Amino acid sequence: MPVVAVKRLLYVANPFPPMASGGNARHLRFVRYLPEFGWEATVLAVRTTGPVPDPPGVRIERAAALDPEAVYRLARKLAGPMRAGRPPAGAAGPAAGDRFQTSRRGPVDEWLQVPDSYIGWVPAAVLAGRRLLRDERFDALFSSHPRGSSHLVAAALAGGSGLPWVADYRDPWRTNQFRHYPTRFHEALNVRLETWALAQARAVTAINEPMAADLRRLYPALAPATSVIPNGYDPEEAVDDVDLGPGFWIVHTGRIYARTEQVAAFLEALAALPADVRALFLGAGGPEITARAAALGVADRVRFEPFAPRSRALGVQRAAGALLLITGRAPESLSSKLPEYLASGRPVFAMTSAQSAANALVTEARAGRCVSPDEPLGPALAAFVDDARAGRLPSPDPAVVERFDGRALTGLLAELLDDLTGGRG
């Protein structure tokens, strides 16, 4: 029987455990299942601390980063006059000024840390990666956005080594709907950085077709090498047995990001429902949302929990009466949690635009109801809860759910890597 040589992938990942991040799930699925397809990943990650354990059996090389907190402390001292006065030059109206006054980190990232808060990690990571490439054999490179700093590291390593690099996108870079450029210079700099980086790429992957189509439009030379590898779920992950207590629980897992207005609208609709309808936000919260719940008189029906291990988060999803999804408005709007929601078998109430990738997937899977941010929320949520409690909502279509099996999706990545490196070893 012929011996199949294992190919080696240098996998640039930031964030990565021990940091807590929704993006970790995609990384961990890939590095877990790639060996089944003839690829072994060495992860190049940032040296940091956090609550998430390192994945067993994965080699991780770490490079130190300039502490972003030191930059934030310096910026707060320099930004005193701006907080008390006018918005920064180039800010687009009152919303930008409000962001500057209410966000501790956003303006610092927008003004000083391009493309992101881990730009200080790039030099050390490039040096560490060059050492690995000099001392050992690797066959290909992989990195995932966000953050753009990861693409800069991988691009520098690809340019210096000639190895094929796959640039993965979980969110857009230059066209991100939640990205606010304080000046045209900042926007142009991000465009230049992404353009330089992708000039080194041999292939591009994105989590959905709208994002891939946008990349093909922006970088036509890479269009034939741009494909979709969705986010997925891991059928072998541990799931805790969770009891949420009495009542009908609507659960949201993961961060809220810039969607506090949509959360406020949900809480207002919740307040009109029977008292035994409750909500749990796992991994999200904050004083603004808590105060809104109190003002609406539903503080006793809304629970906020901080970070929890993935096994508990998955268990909470399965214990829910229904799952809440909140996305942006752009066509590429999705969420890494949606495949996990589908795999849980629970009905999904999605606050998302009619043009979004999330709407398309929930509709195709017959997994629940979608409501546009511009539609009245109260009647739609009330009808959804009534139907869910009465068992009138079907489980997500198994054929659709199966497409997001993390092992099969890793096989797609391995096929792409094999094509770039001349077939399997």
In this predicted model, what pLDDT tens digit does every residue of 224-264 receive, in sequence order?
Answer: 999 999 999 999 999 999 999 999 999 999 888 767 789 99
Tokens matching residue 425: 């070893």
CB 308 within 8 A of CB 255: no
> Is 156 within the bounds of a domain?
yes
2 within some domain: no
333-348 core/surface letters (b: 16 or more CB in 10 A; e: else): bbbbbbbbbbbbebbb
Over the stretch 404-415, which tens digit does the pLDDT of each residue have? 999 999 999 999
Instruction: Report yes or no on 239 lying in a domain.
Output: no
- Per-residue pLDDT, averaged over 113-131, amounts to 94
Taking residues 70-91, report their average pLDDT.
Answer: 50
- Mean pLDDT across the chain: 89
Residues 410 and 394 in one domain: no
Q: What is the mean pLDDT of residues 368-384?
A: 95
* Tokens encoding 103: 């966000």
pLDDT value, residue 255: 83
Higher pLDDT, 74 or 34: 34
Quick one: tokens of 366? Answer: 């017959």
Instruction: Starting at the earlier edge strand, list the strands of the sheet with 165-169.
Output: 59-63, 39-46, 7-12, 140-145, 165-169, 203-206, 226-228
Indicate if 170 and 181 belong to the same structural domain: yes
Q: Which has more confidence, 54 or 93?
A: 54
pLDDT at 77: 67
- Average pLDDT value for residue range 167-172: 97
Tens of pLDDT along 209-221? 999 999 999 999 9
Report if residue 237 sits inside a domain: no
Quick one: 140 and 179 in the same domain? yes
Q: How far apart are the first and last CA of the chain?
A: 14
Q: Is residue 1 part of a domain?
A: no
Q: From CA 240, how far away is CA 22, in angstroms rounded? A: 18
Tell me the pLDDT band of 95, cut-offs 50, 70 and 90: very low
Average pLDDT over every residue of 70-77: 62
Place 93 in a pLDDT band, splitting at 50, 70 and 90: very low
CA angle 164, 419, 422 (to 5 degrees): 80
Chain segment 123-159, per-residue pLDDT in tens: 999 999 999 999 999 999 999 999 999 999 999 999 9
Q: 73 pLDDT exceeds 80?
A: no
Do 340 and 410 belong to one domain? no
Under the banding of pLDDT at 50, 70 and 90, the label for residue 104 is low
Residue 225 domain-assigned (yes or no): yes
- 331 and 220 both lie in a single domain: no
Which two tokens mark 164?
Answer: 């094929």
Q: Using DSSP, state whether 390 is helix, strand or coil.
A: coil
Residue 107 sits in the same domain as residue 216: no
pLDDT digits (tens, 9 = 90+) for 15-37: 999 998 888 999 999 999 999 99
High-pLDDT (> 70) share of the chain, %: 88
Two structure tokens written together for 267: 């809480």
- What Rg value do the Cα atoms of the chain yield, rounded? 22
The verdict on 20 and 96 lying in the same domain is: no
User: Is-contact 234 25, C-beta < 8 A?
Assistant: yes
- What average pLDDT score do residues 341-358 get? 97
153 plus 22 within the same structural domain: yes
Residue 238 lies in a domain: no
Burial class of residue 42 in the structure, from the number of CB atoms within 10 Å of its CB (0-12 exposed, 13-18 middle, 19+ buried): middle
pTM (2 decimals)?
Answer: 0.88
Q: Which is more confident, 181 or 342?
A: 342
Mean pLDDT across 109-119: 84
Residue 355 sits in the same domain as residue 384: yes
Q: Are residues 322 and 201 in the same domain?
A: no
Q: How high is the pLDDT of residue 374? A: 86
pLDDT of 332 = 94
The yes-or-no verdict on residue 184 having pLDDT over 50 is: yes
For residue 286, give its domain range. Answer: 248-402
Same domain, 18 and 167: yes
Whether 92 has a pLDDT exceeding 90, the answer reads no
pLDDT of residue 192: 97
Domain check: are 159 and 266 in the same one? no
Q: Is residue 328 part of a domain?
A: yes
Provide the percentage of residues in the chain whose pLDDT is more than 90.
75
Contacts of 34 (CB under 8 A, 6+ apart): 9, 40, 41, 410, 413, 414
Read off the pLDDT band of 287 (50, 70, 90). Answer: confident
Domain count for the chain: 3
- State yes or no: pLDDT of 69 exceeds 70: no
- For residue 80, the model assigns a pLDDT of 56
- Dihedral, CA of residue 396, residue 25, residue 143 and residue 415, to nearest 10: -50
Domain CATH number, residue 161: 3.40.50.2000
